[in-house]
Chains A and B, each alone.
Chain A
Amino acid sequence: MSTPTAATEPVVDRLATEPGDGLATTTGAGVAAGSRAVLWLALPLAITAALCFLAPLLPLPDPNEQNLRNTLQPPVFAGGDWSHPLGTDKLGRDMLARLLHGGQLTFIIGVAGALVAVVPGALIGLAAGFARGKVDAVVSQLISAQLALPFVLIALPIIIARGQSIWVLLLVLGLTGWAPVARVVRAEAMSVRERQFILGLRAVGASGARIMFRHVLPNLAAVLVVLGTLQVGTAILIESALSFLGMGVVEPDMSWGSILASGQDILKQGWWVSTIPGIAITAVVLLVNLLGDALLVRYDPRKRQY
């Protein structure tokens, strides 16, 4: 199909429609401003992640410790007390402890989910954009076919055959994520390939594989960093959706998506059980998306007008 097929991220679209030449040179002042934005967005993300991974060292109750006499205690800001700052869930487990422990898996799946999409996507896109011809035709067809399979439709047959597990989740993230990445990388690789220094390398007799991996790939580093960042946000959203539908993370494992799911049937009695992890997911994905935008601006000043 000739129309630019659906991408889940607008920034990815912008990358796809304007094939640039990878790492653009930036002026000093612009880099400084861009770097500052990147820092201010990366810092709260890093702190949140650190809090989640250091949770076992913090003076918090065990996230799986049930106390059936103390169920559905409201959080402090809704009339609860400080023994459970974010309240308790329907089994009397401390929400703050669950939120921080659950964040570990959310971050791990976010990053791993981005890697399983970006690495194969980049390699396939690179090969197609660099080789052109038949390889490119086949890959392009595969990309548009893959983009016609939304993640839920990919997840359904796999989960019905395998049941749900974190590995299945990563498989789904890889299978859904590679195509948009490959599409962008393919376009970028095509434009890098036409540049003068590639011609020079060919003239001195460098092999195709060497040019591809040692010279074209490094020129795509900036694009890959931006794509990878945005993919973390997408992976976290997909994880939460699948966990919510009971097809992702299931007890006793916990992630923000599965904690959120556990509160859906007690909205009336304990609204905070679903509300709090949802806010956490939204905040982290928002920061990740803003970081992706900032990185794009940092690496490519032509996009700064947006």
Chain B
Amino acid sequence: MIVFIARKVGGALVTFAVAITLAFLLSRMSGDPTANILGPFATPDQFESLRERLGLNDPLPVQFLDYLKSAFTADFGESLQYGQSNTQLILERLPNTIVLIVLAMAIAIGIGVPLGVVAATKEGSAWDRLASTVALLGQSMPVFWLGLMLILVFAVNLGLLPAGQDGSLKHVILPAVTLSMYPLAQIARLTRATMAEVLREPYIDAARARGLRSRRIIGVHALRNASMPVVTITALQAGLLLSGAVAVEYVFNYSGFGLLAIQAVEFRDYTLVQAVVAFGVLAFILLNLAVDLLYAVIDPRIRRA
């Protein structure tokens, strides 16, 4: 088990290093940011001092080492826009985003799993068709547009819920529903597919033959065996929601990690963008690692593999 954990953690570190390197190369390959930050009326002196401040005058390998160091020590210097520590800015905003993502995942699982189970047990029925339609629509819709439509109906027309900002639970409902749509669709689709497969297994017939009630068969025997892929997709979706949250937080003016990212781009806050990217990657990789370890806990066979 310790060897297993060590190997997984090592793998995650390598992936993090490679992803961070990719992010560094992308930002350097895309050219000199100073022109875009300072605009057309800046003097050569201003360019020079900004380049110096951002460390762009150093040779590329030195820049890379600096970047790696800041990524692994979580120290990304000061934001150009706020004059505060970037790490601190991100940590201040992160809790709001975590609340949003957790609530969205709860909605996605709470509706997606039952929808998929019903669809699988009643294959070809109206429920099945409803579930597939919801799933397909959820995956074909621009998420932020759904957010706008919810604002239109619930905030502008009905006046039931606030359209933006953060604070109380009421403010999180619409953004969380919006953000839950895509993972909900995927969880429903996957639950349906794996459940339908499990229900064809011989041990399900055996359980029926022994006279177990079908609610028990579906709820206990089938669902547990169908849950592994659903656990994976749930965790991976939670990682992807970090980027989904960018658009949703922007629509609802919800002050989290995503809105910070957008503001960083709007103000051409180069150092903050780099910090945001590194944190996003780190969060995604940590979730992946958590899934791998969770797997080993659920299924002992994996530990030996």
Contact of A286 among B14, B140, B196, B280 (CB under 8 A): B140
Which residues from B are CB-within-8-Å of A150?
A: 239-240, 242-243, 280, 284
Q: Is B19 a contact partner of A145 (Cβ separation < 8 A)?
A: yes
* B144 interface hit (Cβ, 8 Å): yes
* B151 interface hit (Cβ, 8 Å): yes
Q: How far is the CB of B289 from chain A (nearest CB, A)?
A: 8
Per-residue interface assignment for chain A, residues 269 to 306, with 1 indicating a CB less than 8 Å from any chain B CB and 0 otherwise: 00100110010011001101110000000000000011
Q: Is A264 a contact partner of B148 (Cβ separation < 8 A)?
A: yes
Which residues from B are CB-within-8-Å of A50?
A: none
Contact of B32 among A148, A159, A161, A274 (CB under 8 A): A161
Which B residues between 122 and 144 are near A, CB-CB below 8 angstroms? 136-137, 139-144
Given A161-B27, A161-B32, A245-B246, are A2 and B292 neighbors across the interface (CB < 8 Å)?
yes
Q: Is B15 a contact partner of A289 (Cβ separation < 8 A)?
A: no
Q: Is the interface of A mostly helix, strand, loop or mixed?
A: helix
* B11 interface hit (Cβ, 8 Å): yes
Per-residue interface assignment for chain A, residues 119 to 153, with 1 indicating a CB less than 8 Å from any chain B CB and 0 otherwise: 00000000000000000000001101110111111
Which residues from A are CB-within-8-Å of B172?
A: none
* A107 interface hit (Cβ, 8 Å): no
Given A145-B19, A158-B26, A160-B273, are A10 and B142 neighbors across the interface (CB < 8 Å)?
no
Which residues from B are CB-within-8-Å of A241?
A: 142-144, 247
Q: Is B145 a contact partner of A157 (Cβ separation < 8 A)?
A: no
Q: Is A161 a contact partner of B242 (Cβ separation < 8 A)?
A: no
Query: Interface residue tally of chain A, by bracket?
Result: 35 or more
Taking CB as reference atom, which chain A residue is nearest B22? A145
Contact of B36 among A141, A144, A161, A286 (CB under 8 A): A161
Contact of B237 among A6, A240, A271 (CB under 8 A): A6
Which A residues between 1 and 57 are near B, CB-CB below 8 angstroms? 1-6, 8-10, 14
Given A153-B280, A268-B156, A275-B152, are A161 and B23 neighbors across the interface (CB < 8 Å)?
no
* B171 interface hit (Cβ, 8 Å): no
Given A282-B141, A289-B136, are A157 and B277 neighbors across the interface (CB < 8 Å)?
yes
Q: How far is the CB of A290 from chain B (nearest CB, A)?
A: 7
Complex CA–CA separation, A247 to B266 (angstroms): 9
Given A148-B19, A158-B30, A246-B266, are A278 and B246 neighbors across the interface (CB < 8 Å)?
no
Q: Is B27 a contact partner of A157 (Cβ separation < 8 A)?
A: yes
Contact of B145 among A6, A260, A271 (CB under 8 A): A260
Contact of B247 among A145, A146, A244 (CB under 8 A): A244
Q: How far is the CB of A261 from chain B (nearest CB, A)?
A: 9
Given A6-B239, A153-B277, A282-B140, are A160 and B149 neighbors across the interface (CB < 8 Å)?
no
Q: How far is the CB of B152 from chain A (nearest CB, A)?
A: 5
Q: Is A237 a contact partner of B142 (Cβ separation < 8 A)?
A: yes
Q: Is A175 a contact partner of B284 (Cβ separation < 8 A)?
A: no
* A214 interface hit (Cβ, 8 Å): no
Given A1-B11, A145-B22, A240-B145, are A161 and B236 neighbors across the interface (CB < 8 Å)?
no
* A166 interface hit (Cβ, 8 Å): no
Q: How far is the CB of A149 from chain B (nearest CB, A)?
A: 6
Q: Is B142 a contact partner of A161 (Cβ separation < 8 A)?
A: no
Q: How far is the CB of B251 from chain A (nearest CB, A)?
A: 7
Which residues from A are CB-within-8-Å of B189?
A: 10
* B70 interface hit (Cβ, 8 Å): no
Contact of A162 among B31, B236, B243 (CB under 8 A): B31
Q: Is B284 a contact partner of A161 (Cβ separation < 8 A)?
A: no
Of B84-92, B204-212, B218-226, B257-265, the one with at least 4 CB within 8 A of chain A: B257-265
Which residues from B are CB-within-8-Å of A306?
A: 193
Q: Is A162 a contact partner of B36 (Cβ separation < 8 A)?
A: yes
* A233 interface hit (Cβ, 8 Å): yes
Q: Is B232 a contact partner of A144 (Cβ separation < 8 A)?
A: no
Which residues from B are CB-within-8-Å of A158?
A: 26-27, 30
Taking CB as reference atom, which chain A residue is nearest B266? A246
Q: Is B247 a contact partner of A245 (Cβ separation < 8 A)?
A: yes
Q: Is A274 a contact partner of B148 (Cβ separation < 8 A)?
A: yes
Complex CA–CA separation, A245 to B273 (angstroms): 15
Q: Is B265 a contact partner of A160 (Cβ separation < 8 A)?
A: yes
Q: Is A145 a contact partner of B18 (Cβ separation < 8 A)?
A: yes
Q: Is B140 a contact partner of A289 (Cβ separation < 8 A)?
A: yes
Q: Is B22 a contact partner of A146 (Cβ separation < 8 A)?
A: yes
Q: How far is the CB of A132 from chain B (nearest CB, A)?
A: 19
Complex CA–CA separation, A158 to B12 (angstroms): 25
Contact of A152 among B31, B193, B196, B243 (CB under 8 A): B243
Q: Is B33 a contact partner of A156 (Cβ separation < 8 A)?
A: no
**Residue of B18, B151, B237, B274 with most partner-chain A CB within 10 A:** B18
Q: Is B240 a contact partner of A3 (Cβ separation < 8 A)?
A: no
Given A160-B33, A260-B145, are A153 and B152 neighbors across the interface (CB < 8 Å)?
no
Complex CA–CA separation, A153 to B139 (angstroms): 21
* B254 interface hit (Cβ, 8 Å): no
Q: Is A148 a contact partner of B33 (Cβ separation < 8 A)?
A: no
Question: Taking beta carbons and an 8 Å cutoff, which residues of A are in contact with B?
Answer: 1-6, 8-10, 14, 141-142, 144-146, 148-154, 156-163, 175, 233, 237, 240-241, 244-247, 257, 260, 264, 267-268, 271, 274-275, 278, 281-282, 285-286, 288-290, 305-306
Q: 23 A–B contact pairs at CB < 8 A?
A: A6-B237, A6-B240, A142-B22, A144-B15, A148-B15, A149-B280, A153-B243, A153-B277, A154-B23, A156-B261, A156-B264, A158-B26, A160-B37, A161-B33, A163-B36, A240-B145, A241-B142, A247-B265, A260-B142, A260-B145, A281-B142, A285-B140, A286-B136
8 tightest A-B CB contacts, nearest first? A150-B243, A157-B27, A145-B18, A278-B145, A286-B140, A161-B30, A285-B140, A152-B243
